[in-house]
Structure 1
Amino acid sequence: MTEDRWQDFPEAQGGCQCGALRFHISAGPARATLCHCRMCQRASGNAFAPLYEVPDGRISWSGQPKEWASSNLATRGFCDICGTPLYYRSQGTTEIMAGTLTPDFPYRPHDNCGVESRKDWLATLHSLPDRPTSPDLLAGVVSYQMAEGI
């Protein structure tokens, strides 16, 4: 890849919450981006979408994601069992939702795109107080999500 911000990354894996869909991405050039466009906001249910872009041929799947054409240019993949949004696919590349990668993967975004729709309040995040999840809440959680790294 000759475009700016493509760099070599190690192999990656991940999948949906319920484990019905898993993916493996071979090592090689990739791009890590935060997309703030309105389509990504709606597709992710969030203020932005952290995306890990790789050429289509580098991804192998266990299970078959459902797809929806969100525009004439792009298709979005998701798990039809648990609803996890998994990717944005367009023009020969797939942009995996970074939250679906295993926690040990060295994802670090290198740019922002779709900034015309960026939420103003994101600039204040560094000044907000941090608080951990309540130990009492964690003690009562029974997770139905697939264990990480499997």
Structure 2
Amino acid sequence: MSKTMTGGCQCGRIRYGVEIQNSDAYLCHCRMCQKATGGFAAAFVEVPAGKIAWTVEPDWYQSSPVARRPFCSACGTPLGFAWIDGTGGQDLTLGSFDDPSWFKPVAHAGCESLHEAWLDTRDLPRHYSATTTSVAERWKAKGLEVPE
């Protein structure tokens, strides 16, 4: 079942639309993805190359001799990954989708740098932004509600 989905950067300067064929997503644990996203892994959705309709062409960073990454230079949002030679699919960051809840992880990549302790966090305490005083008070002081 294909589905048209939208997404973009945090500041809204760069937006995209793409037709997604399935709900498959994956985590890449390689050191380049860790550094590119600032996380323990990058969560990606692979789409066919050339199928992303950008409203504004993203900025691109050549992160290695074989790959480049789209991002927004205004807010810093990482938007994906692509091979420089243009072969294979192109990845979009899961978090850049307007509604990433449809996607489900199906694989791990770059496992040579996987941090095992970060995979199963079910038993950790959960804190919600709207009920965390240090967060909620700052939003309230601005006359705003805590965003999701």
TM-score of the two chains, using structure 2 as the length reference: 0.82
The answer as to 2:57 corresponding to 1:64 is: yes
TM-score normalised over the length of structure 1: 0.81
Root-mean-square deviation (CA), in Å? 2.2
Within the candidate set 114, 121, 139, 1:118 is matched to 114
Distance 1:41 1:47 in 2: 6
How many angstroms does 1:15 deviate by?
Answer: 0.1
Pairing 1:125-140 to 2, within 5 Å after superposition: 125-135=121-131, 136=133, 137-138=135-136, 140=138
**Secondary structure of 2:35's aligned partner:** helix
Question: Structure 1, residues 45-74: CA drift from partner, whole Å, max 9, x if none?
Answer: 000000000012211001121111111211
- Residue number in structure 2 paired with 1:20: 13
Whole-Å separation in 2 of the counterparts to 1:31 and 1:65? 24
Q: Contact between 1:50 and 1:97, CA under 8 Å: does it hold in 2?
A: yes
* 4+ residue runs over 6 A deviation: none
For 2:97, the equivalent position in structure 1 comes to 101
Q: How does 1:75-94 map to 2 (within 5 A)?
A: 75-90=68-83, 91-94=87-90
Q: Tell me, what secondary structure is at the counterpart of 1:11?
A: strand
* Distance in 2 between residues matched to 1:123 and 1:23, nearest whole Å: 30
Amino acid at match of 2:121: L
Identity %: 34
Gaps of 5+ in 2: none
Q: For residues 119 and 57 of structure 1, what CA distance do their matches in structure 2 show? A: 32
How is 1:19-38 mapped onto 2 (pairs within 5 angstroms)? 19-28=12-21, 31-38=24-31
Contact 2:29 2:110 in 1 (8 A): yes
Cα distance in 2 for partners of 1:39, 1:104 equals 23
How many residues align? The count is 137
In the TM superposition, what is the alpha-carbon distance from 1:138 to its structure 2 partner?
Answer: 2.8
